[in-house]
Amino acid sequence: MKQTILLTVALSLTGCTSMIDTMDSFAGMGKLTVDKNSFDNTKIIYLTPDALYNPDASIFDPVSTRLGAVWTSKSPQFVNLTFQEDGGYVKFDEVAFKVNGKTKIYPIGLSDLDFDNSKLSGMKSTAYALIPMSEFKNILTAKTCQMKIEKATGYEVASCSIDRIPGGKRTAILGFRNMLKAIEEKK
C-alpha cells in the first residue's frame, strides 16, 4: 500500500514539473531553438531567458533577472549570455562567476529597453555578456557555482548548481545543459 501511495505521489510531482515546463515554454521562457542560417549555413542556438534561483534568498525576494544565451558556429569558442528583467530600464554592469571557489568577472554591455505586450509592465531590459565556451562548460560541471549580477541599483546572487527551484520550476541552468548538448551534436 505504501509503495502505491509513493508511486502515485512521484508520478503526480513529475506531472506538475512537466506542466510547469510546458507553461514556461508557452510563455517563451527557457525555449531552446536550433537554427541554420541560409546565407552561410551557420548553426545558431538560442535559449530564451529563464529563471535564476538563490537558495539563500527569501521566497518574497526572488531573483528578478532572467538568464538566456546564444551560441553560433561562426564563433564556437564563445557563448553570449542574455540578461533580462521586466519593469523598466535596468542598467546591468557585470557578472561574476564563482566556480569551485575561483571568481571570474565579465562586463555586461549596454541594456536595451523593449516594449513587450506580453508583460503587464510592458517594458523589459535586455543586455549581453560574452564568455568563453570553456567557462560555460566549467559553470555546468562545477561542484559549486554562484553567479553575482551587478546592476546600477545593487546586485543579485544566484546558484548555477541548481537545475530546478523547489516546487519544480526549471532554472536557466537546466536550459544551459540542454543547450550544451545541442551545441555538441554534430558541430
What's the total number of domains in the chain? 1
Q: Mean of the pLDDT values across residues 1-10?
A: 51
> Which residue segment(s) compose the domain that 145 sits in?
2-184
Calculate the dihedral angle through the C-alpha atoms of 23, 25, 27, 33, rounding to the nearest 10 degrees: -170
Check residue 173 and give its pLDDT: 92
Check residue 119 and give its pLDDT: 53
CA atoms within a 13 Å half-sphere pointing along the CA-CB vector of 11: 6
Query: Does residue 4 register a pLDDT over 90?
Result: no
* pLDDT digit string, tens, across residues 63-108: 899 999 999 999 999 999 999 998 888 999 999 999 999 999 999 9
- Of 43, 55, 7, 59, the C-alpha closest to 179 is 43
Which has more confidence, 158 or 18?
158
What's the N-to-C CA distance of the chain in angstroms? 50
Q: Mean of the pLDDT values across residues 29-56?
A: 91
Check residue 16 and give its pLDDT: 46
Q: How far is residue 14's CA from residue 128's CA, in Å, rounded to a whole number?
A: 34
Given a contact cutoff of 8 angstroms between Cβ atoms, the answer to whether 107 and 101 are in contact is no
Distance set, CA 143 to CA 39, 53, 88, 100, 187 (Å): 41, 16, 35, 6, 27
CATH number of the domain enclosing 27: 2.60.40
* pLDDT digit string, tens, across residues 104-152: 999 999 888 887 665 555 788 999 999 999 999 999 999 999 999 999 9
